[in-house]
Amino acid sequence: MKSLVQATIAIIVVCSLLFFATNRLESAGSKGSKDTLTVYNWGEYIDPDLLDQFTEETGIKVIYETFDSNEAMMTKVQQGGSAYDVAVPSEYMVQKMMEEDLLIPLDHSKIPNLKNIDPYFLDLAFDPKNKYSIPYFWGTVGIVFNPNLIEEHLTFTTWEDLWDSSLKDKVFLVDGAREVMGMGLNSIGESLNAKDEDLLRKATDKLVTLTPNVKAIIGDEITPLMINNEAAVALTWSGQAQDMMWENEDLDFAVPEEGSNLWFDNFVIPKTAANIDGAHAFINFMLDAEVSAQNNDYVGYSTPNKAAMELMDPEVINDERFYPTEEVREHLEVYENLGPEWLGKYNEYFIKFKMSLN
């Protein structure tokens, strides 16, 4: 009994001490400023030095919160209970959040740096006139491969290369219904936004014939596997491919010609915002050419910021694998919001495909 009481007291004392410590740390960090801004973003998806720079310039303290999936983020915004001033969803989620009335329209007069964005990336179908969103980073879905581990004739300029019999047990797929089903649809020459049961069935049949080649369907863990030369071929997002290629120079990336996905991560101001002026100031700050160039250096994904590109290493921006020419871009499609019913169907077919693996 005595040791139980002792342990209880010890825990309470330790907790109080730690409480005191965090309070000290937090008040030392904020330097007395009361104006705060909560940014809701993916982890490690911004240069933290820029957050400090923003605070120095505006006096607004940035609270950086993170999420690991668009859907989870949307649930949080929908339920409320916490203030998020700026969030960074992908384009299909922007559309969904618009439909659910979860976004606040942007006041373009407060974001003069919008002029820095390449007009090609503005006024897109998912958000006409950029009423609610501004692109942050963009990319494609393609195949990252290790030429040392596969036969030479495979260059993945076509999806058909994935089905090559020499790739038995060598292909890794990303665990995403839209990505894999989209690949299936593209490979039979259809749109990755198809809303047709027949086509989905055909795409699934086609995917099932790929199963002998599929080693695993995984998520972000593909990065270490590719870097370690453990995986030969993987279907993944261009951003992750860039991360991998930074660490393993042997790797190469290709977007098959039949078409693929073009994605965007975008700044939005969710309905939960408490500091709307601050949110605009933050977005404008991030669009500044120098800031954006510095951020790009840290994150390494493709930027839509034309002014920033002029400040960046030409070797980076001339890499056609990650800054594809307009001609190539024409074959790329942005995901449309399929609506819950069709999204459910995509998912069902994807599960069926997954279950056929073993």
Partner 1 sequence: MTRQRGALFPYIIWIALFVIAPIALVVYYSMLDLSGNFTLANYKSFFTPVYLKMTLTSFWYAFLITLFTLIIAYPTAYLLTKTKHKQLWLMLIIIPSWINLLLKTYAFIGIFGLYGPINAFIEIFGLEPKQILFTDFSFIFVSVYIFIPFMIIPIFNSLDKLNPTLIYAARDLGASGFTTFRRVIFPLTIDGVKSGIQVTFIPALSLFMITRLIAGNQVITLGTAIEQQFLVSQNWGMGSTIAVFLILSMVLIMFLTGQKKGGRVR
Partner 2 sequence: MKKLSLPSKLYLIIVFLVLYAPIFYLIFYSFNSGESMNNFESFTLEHYKAVFDDTRLIVILINTVIVALLSGLIATIIGTLGAIGIVSIKDKKMRNVLLSLNNVLIVSPDVVIGASFLILFTMIGVKLGFASVVVSHVAFSIPIVVLMVLPKLLEMNTSLIDAAKDLGASKRDVLTRVILPYIQPGIFAGFFLALTYSLDDFAVTFFVTGNGFSTLSVEIYSMARTGITLTINAISGLVFLVTVLVVIGYYFFNNRAKRIQEGVQR
- Provide the annotated binding site for spermidine: 44, 92
343's contact among partner 1, partner 2, none, with CB below 5 to 8 A by partner kind, is partner 1
> In which element (H, E) is residue 41 found?
strand 36-42
Binding status of residue 344 toward partner 1 by CB under 8 A: yes
Kindly give, in sequence order, each residue whose CB lies less than 8 Å from that of residue 271, ignoring residues fewer than 6 positions away. Answer: 77, 80, 101, 102, 103, 104
Detail the residues annotated as belonging to a binding site.
Answer: 44, 92
Nearer to partner 2, 127 or 243 (CB): 243
Nearer to partner 2, 30 or 155 (CB): 30
Binding status of residue 240 toward partner 2 by CB under 8 A: yes
> Of residues 224, 246, 250, 313, which one binds partner 1 by CB under 8 A?
224
Nearer to partner 1, 4 or 72 (CB): 72
Nearer to partner 1, 3 or 109 (CB): 3
> In which element (H, E) is residue 287 found?
helix 276-287
Q: How far apart are CB 220 and partner 2 at their closest, in Å?
A: 4
What is the Cα–Cα distance from 48 to 295, expressed in whole angstroms? 9
> Of residues 47, 65, 164, 175, which one binds partner 1 by CB under 8 A?
175
What is the Cα–Cα distance from 203 to 186, expressed in whole angstroms? 8
Binding status of residue 43 toward partner 1 by CB under 8 A: no
DSSP state of 256: -
Q: How far apart are CB 187 and partner 2 at their closest, in Å?
A: 25
Binding status of residue 176 toward partner 1 by CB under 8 A: yes
CA atoms within 13 A of residue 301's CA, in its CB half-sphere: 21
What is the Cα–Cα distance from 61 to 303, expressed in whole angstroms? 25
Kindly give, in sequence order, each residue whose CB lies less than 8 Å from that of residue 21, ignoring residues fewer than 6 positions away. Answer: none
> Of residues 42, 163, 323, 342, which one binds partner 2 by CB under 8 A?
42
Residues 293-322 interacting with partner 2 (rule: CB under 8 A): 299
Beta bridge partners of 140: 262
> Of residues 121, 159, 172, 237, which one binds partner 1 by CB under 8 A?
172
Per DSSP, the residues of 290-351 read HHHHHHHHHH-SB--BHHHHHHS-HHHHT-TTTS--HHHHTTEEPPP--HHHHHHHHHHHHH
Binding status of residue 93 toward partner 2 by CB under 8 A: no
Nearer to partner 1, 25 or 357 (CB): 357
Binding segment toward partner 1, per CB under 8 A, in 8-16, 56-64, 221-229, 280-288: 221-229
Contact 269, 85 (CB under 8 A): yes
> Of residues 181, 200, 231, 247, which one binds partner 2 by CB under 8 A?
247
> Of residues 47, 53, 64, 333, which one binds partner 2 by CB under 8 A?
64
Q: Give the residue among 254, 265, 260 at the shortest CA–CA distance from 332.
A: 260
Residues that bind partner 1 (CB under 8 A): 69, 71-72, 74, 172, 175-177, 215-219, 221, 224-225, 228-230, 340-341, 343-344, 346-347, 351-352, 354-355, 357-358
